[in-house]
Amino acid sequence: MKTVFNIKKQIAGLIAIAFIFTLSTTSTAQENKTGNSKNFKIIIEKTKNGVKLKCLKGCAWTDLSFSLRNGYQQPVDENGMAETDILSSNKYQDPNFAHFLFTIGKTKDGIQIKGLKGTDWSGLSFSLRDNEKQAIDKHGMAQ
């Protein structure tokens, strides 16, 4: 009878340890996405063959333009077109610029953006016809 009790006690201990480990990793993963107080402002223009971006504030670049088919995503950070993995954004970060990383893609009716770093939003999706423009910043859609 003692061995059954000891086994149950050991299993309960392992479950408690697993629970504590889960809580600690969950709280680490929920860190603030903004990480800095600097903002950026970008004007997005949907074109027939792609997207044009104009950075008004917080970027090392002023204008970006690239071809983009519907359903494909292009990563963009404060330095311009970025690598496809998030780790590439860990390169040198100039303190004069906002530090952000998002992917942008065209849809049939507009634009879809996924905020990966330095944004208060995790995703933005809005209608935009060819040659129309929409501003975004670290807080979301802007004017």
**Is 66 inside any structural domain?**
yes
Q: Is the dihedral of CA 63, 39, 120, 41 positive or negative?
A: negative
The whole-number pLDDT of residue 92 equals: 64
- How many domains does the chain divide into? 2
Beta pairing, strands 41-46 & 50-57? antiparallel
Is pLDDT of 23 > 70? no
Task: Count CB-CB contacts under 10 A for residue 126.
Answer: 17
Same domain, 45 and 27: no
Same domain, 103 and 133: yes
Highest mean pLDDT among 20-24, 27-31, 135-139: 135-139
φ/ψ (deg, to 5) at 139: -95, -15
Same domain, 54 and 99: yes
At a CB cut-off of 8 Å and minimum separation 6, what does 14 contact? Answer: none
Is pLDDT of 116 > 70? yes
Same domain, 12 and 78: no
pTM higher than 0.85: no
**Is 36 inside any structural domain?**
no
Convert the pLDDT of each residue in 59-89 to its tens digit: 999 999 999 888 899 999 999 999 866 555 5
What integer best gives the mean pLDDT of the chain?
80
Same domain, 58 and 23: no
Beta pairing, strands 63-67 & 50-57? antiparallel
Residue ranges making up the domain that contains 1: 1-31
